[in-house]
Structure 1
Amino acid sequence: MHIVLVADHAAINGGQAKVAIESALGLVARGHRVTLFAAVGPVDPRLEPAGIRVVCLDQDDVTTARSKLAFAAQAIWNAPAARALAAELAACDPRDTLVHVHAFAKALSPAIGPALRASGLPCLYTMHEFFLVCPTGGFYAYPEQTICHRTPMSASCILAQCDARSYPRKVARMIRHAGLAHVARLPELFAHVVTISDLQESVVRPLMPAGTMFHRVDNPIAVAQALVHEGPPGDVLFVGRISTEKGAPIFAEAARRAGVRAVFVGDGSERADLATRYPEAVMLGWRDPAGVQALMRQARALVFPSVWYEGQPLTVYEALACGTPVIVSDACAGREAVVDGETGFWFRSGDPDALAAHLRRLSDDALAARMGRAAHARYWTAPLTPEVHLDRLTGVYETVMREASARGRATRLSAGPAVATA
């Protein structure tokens, strides 16, 4: 197959780009031809030497744009990206080409829709987040600090001041979503959608057109199998963006109430405030993947207190793979990986007292060690390795290609035989 991967970024800057780029490298290693089409550079230096064709437009995203007004226009409808994608797809052989869209909301915009439709190529979309169905992409009301259950683009949604920054930015996002739904018609275009958790599918299925085919493909977890740490359990960790929606303040408060030391690995908007309010907490900043896994292997537990849905939180799976129990909010998709009371605990989302109770339970070294061994054993019975990810992904590609081929045959048959003319 020739797989055209479409993403906002050509280098790893987060989970979406990581999955797209790592899968590109894995697919080309399996003998497929791969093209990566992206809006924002730089380009990951591994791609072109591996034989991957890279088309990078060197455009801005919100972090690099000099003019916020110009970027808002790009985010609503990126016409140059649409023209470039149309030209790229026009050169593809429809007999063996499939387009897999990983991301569009941070730079490419819904303008990719007409280019995809005009190409006639089979395509699918991985729902790393919720931008295909939610204007702000997260089903989360930032001022209220709670999951949003409003119907997207309903009157209550339109009036809700739920954006993380301002209502004018929400208005721009709603304009983009109107273009997505009524001009690009992306939900209709993506008849095949990859989801990464059961919770995610349950949220988006009622909002997608009837007949949409959902395929579960877990993200790959890049953790090497190793023996469980045998020493005494260490600190309790938080790994990721230190922000309100990720539940960082809840963890800091729960740790204080439980009398344990909170260790934060990461950075974010709430770091300075939490460091001031909770001077006993340890702020380690970001660590590379090897450093994070080393901390996880020695930790007493990972706490994942996110108060929004999430997609498939990788840190939860990484901790379990390292033999570390996980205490997870019961409102987020991370709960699907944790067997409550066996490989960790669920706690009532947003409740520091409920989290503190589990932290006190895991102050028992024997319980922490037992749960860590159970987490390790359970994860490695069915590990989410990159090879497993590629097996499942290529299976979905084959399904999409077979359906497209059958649809093409049916169209030719319904057209009847060609009539010769003089």
Structure 2
Amino acid sequence: MLRAPDPLTVVIVLDHASVTGGQARVAFDSAIGLKRAGHESIVFAAVGPVAPELVAAGVRTVCLGQADLLGHRSIAAAAVQGVWNGAAADALRELLATLPAGRSVIHVHGWAKALSPAIARPIAESGLPAVYTLHEYSLMCPNGGFFNYRTETPCSLKPLGAACLATHCDSRGYSRKLWRAARHAVMERVARLPAAFPDIVAISRFQVAAVSRHLPAGARVHLVSNPIGVEPMGPKPAGARGPLTFVGRISPEKGPLLFAEAARRAGVDALFVGDGPLLPELKRRYPEVRTVGWQGPEAVQRYLREAGALVFPSIWYEGQPLTVLEAKALGTPVIVSDGCAGRDCIADGVDGLWFRRNDADNLAQAIRRFGEADVDALSRAAYDSYWAAPATLERHVAAIVALYRGLLPAAAELRLTA
């Protein structure tokens, strides 16, 4: 194990100590990368179990063994925990008090599924530099997505404004929307969580453009790409053709039904790799599609490598889709919605195709165009453009460490005296 010169101590804060999605995957990869580079990384999470890769890498993990809000046996207790998780705040305060001053940083990746806004107070009291990554938008929007699950459209309403409060946008029920609004009010006005983060990490230019007007006042925005773990395999063999493939959570904001409908209209086969609440409806409405359920990372990469194209039909302001980068790294072109950050990674007609967000006819047209395109050229361009500037863990760690060092007291004093 390396020991970095002047090593940092970084506390990585999120709801779960196991991989539950892209947010946790990025947080854990970052923690492991920091550890390998000779820094001390500590994962602080509410919900177990602890990911085995953290244990194998020797990353210290403080896990409280709590339930998340959806997994709680008591709805009332979950509602209270979601608004103010005092036990998590106390445990975080205790941890932060042990950190060495002058070389320690707090990096929050998520709080809305278990930790609650209560973490703001120990972070502010610690006096340590604190950073927040915009994996989603819980710091600014009550439902975390600037997305109306009823109309399946992005939301432009002012959070907690009269129109926002009157709009039923939640995926479950209006009473849950009102609870989310109440929690958001506590988060902003009691805990003052946004004020704890003068520095925000955005993961794509699209994301900054989409939500910049909602960012905390005076926040400094830093663009740092997420890492992915794909090894170079070389371009695909000429003539390789596989199914059009969806990879990810089978949920409304990801657009799986949109892809299934477009594939039916275009008369092509569609493969779905993943699981989620819409999977039963997908199978019922589109019995012709092939589904393989949730798969581990190695199997996902195999499906992506074998795909003719990844279809990424997301209909919300997705910040940086990891599967789009993984597909390119494996030499697979991408058919991507123009309403998410995946389009930042794809040059239309060069290494993939764009289509209009949430438009099944336009996606069907893109699928037909793909069938008539030079797929070998698209595939080679996807591979070459990714590996010209790969989103490796080493590059991510270098960028995030440079950010951390710029936030430490010595760097702050130099900025003030310059």
Matches of 2:146 and 2:16, distance apart in 1: 23
Q: Secondary structure at the match of 1:57?
A: strand
Matched, 1:248 2:230: no
Match of 1:262 in 2: 270
Matched, 1:394 2:406: no
Q: Secondary structure at the match of 1:285?
A: coil
Structure 1 pair 137–93 and aligned structure 2 pair: CA distance change class (3 A): same
1:249-328 matched pairs, under 5 angstroms: 249-328=257-336
**More displaced stretch, 157-166 vs 229-238:** 229-238
1:123-272 matched pairs, under 5 angstroms: 123-230=130-237, 231-272=239-280
Matched, 1:70 2:77: yes
Deviations 1:55-78 (A, max 9, x none): 111111034210111011101110
CA contact (8 A) 2:13 2:107 kept: yes
CA contact (8 A) 2:331 2:380 kept: yes
Matched, 1:381 2:388: yes
Cα offset for 1:145? 1.0
Matches of 2:56 and 2:335, distance apart in 1: 41
Q: Secondary structure at the match of 2:52?
A: coil
4+ residue segments displaced more than 3 Å? 48-51, 402-405, 407-410
Structure 1 pair 27–163 and aligned structure 2 pair: CA distance change class (3 A): same
- Give the counterpart letter for 1:379 in structure 2: Y
Matches of 2:140 and 2:164, distance apart in 1: 12
Question: Mind listing any 5+ residue stretches in structure 2 that lack a counterpart?
Answer: 1-7
CA contact (8 A) 2:102 2:409 kept: no
Cα offset for 1:352? 1.1
Matches of 1:350 and 1:204, distance apart in 2: 19
Structure 1 pair 377–56 and aligned structure 2 pair: CA distance change class (3 A): same
Q: Secondary structure at the match of 1:81?
A: helix
Q: Secondary structure at the match of 1:210?
A: coil
Cα offset for 1:285? 1.2
Structure 1 pair 37–399 and aligned structure 2 pair: CA distance change class (3 A): same
**More displaced stretch, 106-115 vs 45-54:** 45-54
Cα offset for 1:243? 2.2
Matches of 1:254 and 1:48, distance apart in 2: 43
CA contact (8 A) 2:406 2:412 kept: no
Cα offset for 1:205? 2.3
Cα offset for 1:309? 0.8
CA contact (8 A) 1:267 1:286 kept: yes
Deviations 1:289-328 (A, max 9, x none): 2212112222111110111111111111111111111111
CA contact (8 A) 1:86 1:115 kept: yes
Matches of 1:186 and 1:29, distance apart in 2: 31
Matches of 2:349 and 2:277, distance apart in 1: 32
CA contact (8 A) 2:69 2:81 kept: no
Matches of 1:348 and 1:65, distance apart in 2: 39
CA contact (8 A) 2:405 2:411 kept: no
**More displaced stretch, 38-47 vs 345-354:** 38-47
Matches of 1:392 and 1:155, distance apart in 2: 40
Question: What TM-score do you get using the length of structure 2 for normalisation?
Answer: 0.94
Question: Mind listing any 5+ residue stretches in structure 1 that lack a counterpart?
Answer: 411-422
- Give the counterpart letter for 1:151 in structure 2: K
- Give the counterpart letter for 1:238 in structure 2: F
Matches of 1:164 and 1:216, distance apart in 2: 30
Match of 1:363 in 2: 371
Matched, 1:99 2:106: yes
- Give the counterpart letter for 1:212 in structure 2: A
Matches of 1:408 and 1:316, distance apart in 2: 37
Q: Secondary structure at the match of 1:111?
A: helix
CA contact (8 A) 1:122 1:404 kept: no
Matches of 2:284 and 2:87, distance apart in 1: 46
Matches of 1:46 and 1:302, distance apart in 2: 27
Matched, 1:343 2:338: no
Cα offset for 1:34? 1.8
Question: What TM-score do you get using the length of structure 1 for normalisation?
Answer: 0.93
* Of 14, 18, 29, the match for 1:11: 18
Matches of 1:193 and 1:390, distance apart in 2: 16
- Give the counterpart letter for 2:53 in structure 1: R
**More displaced stretch, 164-173 vs 205-214:** 205-214
CA contact (8 A) 2:210 2:317 kept: no
Match of 2:3 in 1: none
CA contact (8 A) 1:343 1:371 kept: yes
- Give the counterpart letter for 1:197 in structure 2: S
Deviations 1:18-55 (A, max 9, x none): 11111111111111112211111111233345343221
Matches of 1:35 and 1:294, distance apart in 2: 32
Q: Percent identity at matched positions?
A: 49
Matches of 2:99 and 2:138, distance apart in 1: 27
Matches of 1:280 and 1:228, distance apart in 2: 31
- Give the counterpart letter for 1:100 in structure 2: H
Cα offset for 1:220? 0.4
Matches of 1:334 and 1:403, distance apart in 2: 37
Match of 1:35 in 2: 42
Matches of 1:228 and 1:316, distance apart in 2: 16
